[in-house]
Structures are given as C-alpha cells and as structure tokens.
Structure 1
Amino acid sequence: MRETTWVEQYYLEVDKEQRKEILDEGIEEEGMTPENELRTKLWEVRYSRQAKETAEVDHYIRGWMSMYYLKHSSKGFFSKKNYNKEKDQILKDWGVDIAREYGEAGEKVLYQELCNMTRLYLKLCKDDKSYSSILLGIGRMKDSSLVNKIAKDVYTLAYEIPQITNTVDVFRIFTKAATDTFYAVFPKERGVLEALIEGTAR
C-alpha cells in the first residue's frame, strides 16, 4: 500500500497548527521549492491576523461565506460597486493574485488549498448540530438529508452564484476544487451533486 506523502497529508489536515507543522517539516525535507514557497505564502494569507482584526480568522472560510453576498450585491446598478468590492475581497482572502504569479504551478497549489478549505467546510457542516438540526436546533437530519443540504450549498456557491454574477471564469478553480472535494468526501453520494449540476434534481 502506497504511503501518503507529506503534501497529501498537508491538504487532508484541517487544523491550522498541524498543517504548519507538516509544511515546515516538508520544506525541511525537500527545500523551498516554488510550490512550497507559495504554500507558505498562502498559509500566511489564510491564517495570519490582518490589520484591524481582533481575533484569528480563517480567511479562506471567510471567502467561502462571502460568496453568498455576491448573489445579492450583484443586483441593481447601484450595487455594482459593492459587488466588485466583495468579489475582490474574496480573491484577496484566497490569495489568488499571489498564486497567479507562479503560473501553472500556482494554479495547482491554489486548487489544493481551495480543496482543503472545502474539506474543512464540509467537516464543519457535518459536526455542527445547528446546521444538521431539523428545526431550531431540535432533532437531527438523516444522513441522506444532511448530504443533500451540503450538496445544495456547494452547488449554490460553486455553480449558481458564478453563473448569476458572470464570474464563472473568475471562480473556475474554486468550482473544480469544491466539486472534487465533495466527491472525495461523499463518494457514494456524488450523484446528489451531479444531479444539481446537470439540472435534473427534483
């Protein structure tokens, strides 16, 4: 059986400190390659406290949640400025411009980081009692219903919103990362998301 590489471990791990430890050990092992340099920069972008922030923030997850606002801020002439501001902040939170400086290698590393972000979000959804509750925190959804809800979230953010806001190309890597990660985490239920993507969900 093939051993998991440190890079694979790094992107499977969702704990910030554990990820940093894996990254540091990986760099010590193989040196500061361009990919590792970018991984270090994206770690800083994602987890380091920025000016005026009073608490630690996962900026990738913040970018994920901000995608919802694009749907509403894109409506109306006077909302265009707010929409562009929101979109630019998401791209900044994800370090997209930094990744672009590394060409194809940068695109791959950005994709891997977005996969990790999606993996964390899916874990939070599965673990959060309020997310999986039936009504006002009372009762818990069946596993199939929970997966359906998560699939709709992924579809909304990765497909519906980019289409509505004409940002399909802008968020192309995110769409692929979110889709691939859902399939990896829920291999038996991939048909749920596929149905939404194909427009056949009922």
Structure 2
Amino acid sequence: MFKPGKISAAILLTASFLFGQGKDTLKLHLETKRLPFDLTIQVPVNLPRVGLALSGGGARALSHIGILRALEEEQIPVDMIVGTSMGSIVGGLFSSGYSLDELDSIALNTKWNELFTVEQSNRNELFVDQKITEDKAIFSLRIDGFTPVLPKSLSSGERGANFLNLLALNAPIKAEDYNNLKFRYRA
C-alpha cells in the first residue's frame, strides 16, 4: 500500500506548501544624517557600521588607497575613518571629498623627499622677515620671552605643513566639523 518514506515526503511537501509562504516584514528605524551643504539623508539605524583604522608608515600607508578602492568596488559602505600619521592624511583627504583617482595622483606626483627634507626652505617659500633673518644669521634660534627654544627635530616640517594646508584648502568638501565630512573622520 503506502510506504513510510512516501508518507513522510507527502507530509513535508504539504507543510512546505501551507507554511512556506509566510509574510515577514522588515522594519527599518531611520535616522537623519547631515551631509555637507545643509543636505540630509535618511539612513537605517540597525545596519552594522563600518569604521576603518588607517595606520602610519610613510609610503607603506599609501597602500590604504588600494584598500579604499577595493571597498568602493565591492560597494561596502564606510561610516567612519580614523588614522595616524600618513594614514590620517589619506583618510582625511578621502573624507574631504578627494576621489581615489585624485589620491593616486597626489601620491604618485608628490616629491615626498622634498617635503620632509632636513634642508632649509627655498627663499620663495619664506616670509620677508624670515629672508632678512636668514641673510644675516649663520643659524637661527627661536626665543620665547627670554628663553631660547631648541628645535625638537632636524626638519621643521614647514614644507609638509604648507602642502597639507593647500590640499585642505582645495578640498571638494569644506566642513567646519569632522562629523560633516563625506565620512566621520578622526586623526
């Protein structure tokens, strides 16, 4: 007559037809996220958040550009970027709206050795009073009140700071708060 295997298969098929079409509604709780230029967007609250920690390491830290490109190609959304040293520069520029192609161009075309060299600045990069002092002195020493201030490093970092200031001033997104950049950013 009926075999036990056929009966159990019939019961399973009947149960799957009856109960397999259940309704389940996904409920999203939305929050308003502020964007630059006083724009807002509704984003789900319950989705997992992705934060990137970009390390330092000079030229090795520039490899973070490739990591950011892979995340973008896989459409993995990034909520926050934090970084230290060169990682903070890459993260800050990306958060400020520079595209990955622009970051590649900056990384490849910048003469990094000239930015952080021990040599003195070019005369065209100095203020007038600095040129006058440099012409008269064998070496210069800053004074705070009556106390001489000894330099803490061989390179003043002046060229590097000027270069980073230019990049920040020319950034596509100019926000007064790190939370209002393309990605939340900390360094």
TM-score between both structures, scaled by the size of structure 1: 0.27
Structure exhibiting the larger radius of gyration computed from Cα positions: 2
Q: Which fold has the larger relative contact order, with Cα–Cα distance below 8 Å and residues 6 or more apart in sequence?
A: 2
TM-score between both structures, scaled by the size of structure 2: 0.29
Bigger share in strand: 2
